[in-house]
Structure 1
Amino acid sequence: MPFDQAEFKIRCEWGEQGIRQLAPISEVVVIVDVLSFSTCVEIATSRGAKVFPYRWKDESALKYAQSIQAELASFERRTDSPSLAPSSLLNLSPQSRLVLPSPNGASLSLLTGKTVTIAGCLRNCRAVASWLSSCETVAVIPAGERWPDNSLRPALEDWIGAGAILNYLQGSLSPEAEAAVASFQHYQGSGHRLHQCSSGKELIAKGFAQDVELVAELNVSDCVPVLTNAAYYIKNKVPQAIALTGIPERGI
């Protein structure tokens, strides 16, 4: 099909339709929802937690959490209890079980079927790329946000995050993947751009500037969360010498 980028080893496409086109023909799918699902998953799993993605923010989420003996993250972004604010997960206890409802990153995670699925962000981009180095075909999916009419809003932070992972991968890149890499390379060293993009400005206006700082940190984690039996957790860490060679960057 013309939209599946099948002639390339490394692929990239937006959102739900990207999953539907690329997941069935790819060995691994990487979900990139920088602000903030995939960053939350990285922070939580790096602390030993399991994260169960859930699509709906309604009563069914609580019932699901209760059925698997897990804590439900707050529907509202907050810092005093687990939520979609990355800063709220910094002190998460090891062995925690957390249901994380998200209409973007969580929804996409649940659409990949039997394809191996990873959560990637700026914080773990090089570690994710190292994990993927032996894979034959890879699809990197920037999640994007939603307009009020529920249509996809391509989000700069997810495009940069996808490009950050793709930047470290070897093999034939689709034109879409090359464009994401170019975007990452253009903005690398300009972390203030995440403060100025639509999603960043929205969070700062709501009092979550710390979250924007957290998501902008580059290559500070060797955690690679893999979706297994409905939950993200660390199956195995990338060796520090491989994932974080040299001095890690501290922001895009």
Structure 2
Amino acid sequence: MSTPFDQHRYQVRHEWGAAGLARLAPADVVVVVSVLGEHEAVPIADAAHAAGSLVLLGGLRNASAVASAIADEQALRGARTSVSVIAAGEETSAGVRFAVEDQFGAGAVVDALVRRGIDHTSPEAAAAGEAYRGLGRAVRHLLTAGGTGQRLIAEGRREDVMRAADLDAGDDPRVYAPALSVASSPRAASPE
């Protein structure tokens, strides 16, 4: 049964954390975004994989590669492919903490999808895409100034933060497969 919050009417959807994934209508492809902390991505990716979705790990560094893999998947299917872009945020005892880096990573993926013509986006996805487009030139500064970035810099990990801010530095869509790190091709980890 659909709800006003499942975004089922849209091809590209956006939500936060494991609860957000559960709130959305099932999707053919789920992109999990955790720009500065992949440990937050694993439970979300596991849940999406268990639901039968092709799961990609995306963000600023591979937004275009992820969008290309989704466009290829759609061409392979020969039909509109639904996509849920899940910003992992940081799970806390009070719920998911908004992580600005994940907002920008999700927005970069949405923007890359729109540039490929996969643009029937929910208002939530459109807002993420516009946040990225409007502030994209400042992403490096915003990642270092945000809470997670500041914590990592204080731990001596400034280079990790700077590396995470490199837009489209990689061409691997990072297909998720449980018990494996990642597979190299989008079809390699897709459900049978």
Partner of residue 154, structure 1: 98
Is 1:117 matched up with 2:55?
Answer: yes
State how far apart, in whole Å, the 1-side matches of 2:126 and 2:11 are.
12
State how far apart, in whole Å, the 2-side matches of 1:172 and 1:33 are.
23
Partner of residue 5, structure 1: 7
Q: For 1:188-208, what per-residue CA distance to the aligned partner results, in whole angstroms no more than 9, with x for missing partners?
A: 111111110111111111111
State how far apart, in whole Å, the 1-side matches of 2:178 and 2:102 are.
25
| Percentage identity across paired residues of the two chains | 35
State how far apart, in whole Å, the 2-side matches of 1:116 and 1:230 are.
15
Amino acid in structure 1 at the alignment position of 2:125: A
State how far apart, in whole Å, the 2-side matches of 1:192 and 1:172 are.
30
- Tell me the TM-score normalized by structure 2: 0.83
Contact 1:36–1:215 (CA under 8 A) maintained in structure 2 = no
Structure 2 gaps, min length 5: 75-79, 187-192
Q: How many residues align?
A: 170
Deviation at 1:17, TM superposition (A): 1.3
Q: Of 121, 129, 143, which residue of structure 2 is paired with 1:173? A: 121
- Tell me the TM-score normalized by structure 1: 0.64
Partner of residue 189, structure 2: none
1:71-86 equivalences in 2 (<5 Å): none
1:71-220 equivalences in 2 (<5 Å): 102=39, 104-112=40-48, 113=50, 114-133=52-71, 134=74, 136-147=81-92, 149-169=93-113, 170-190=118-138, 191-220=140-169
Structure 1 gaps, min length 5: 38-101, 238-252
SS at match of 1:110: helix
SS at match of 1:168: helix
State how far apart, in whole Å, the 2-side matches of 1:106 and 1:9 are.
24
Deviation at 1:139, TM superposition (A): 0.2
Contact 1:224–1:234 (CA under 8 A) maintained in structure 2 = no
Contact 2:27–2:83 (CA under 8 A) maintained in structure 1 = yes
Q: For 1:51-98, what per-residue CA distance to the aligned partner results, in whole angstroms no more than 9, with x for missing partners?
A: xxxxxxxxxxxxxxxxxxxxxxxxxxxxxxxxxxxxxxxxxxxxxxxx
Deviation at 1:150, TM superposition (A): 4.7
Is 1:231 matched up with 2:180?
Answer: yes
State how far apart, in whole Å, the 2-side matches of 1:177 and 1:229 are.
26
Q: For 1:5-26, what per-residue CA distance to the aligned partner results, in whole angstroms no more than 9, with x for missing partners?
A: 000000000101121123x521
State how far apart, in whole Å, the 1-side matches of 2:119 and 2:131 are.
19
Partner of residue 22, structure 2: 20
Contact 2:59–2:106 (CA under 8 A) maintained in structure 1 = yes
State how far apart, in whole Å, the 2-side matches of 1:211 and 1:171 are.
31
Aligned residues: CA RMSD: 1.5
Contact 2:14–2:125 (CA under 8 A) maintained in structure 1 = yes
Structure of greater Rg: 1
SS at match of 1:189: helix
Q: Which structure shows the higher helix fraction?
A: 2
Amino acid in structure 2 at the alignment position of 1:26: A
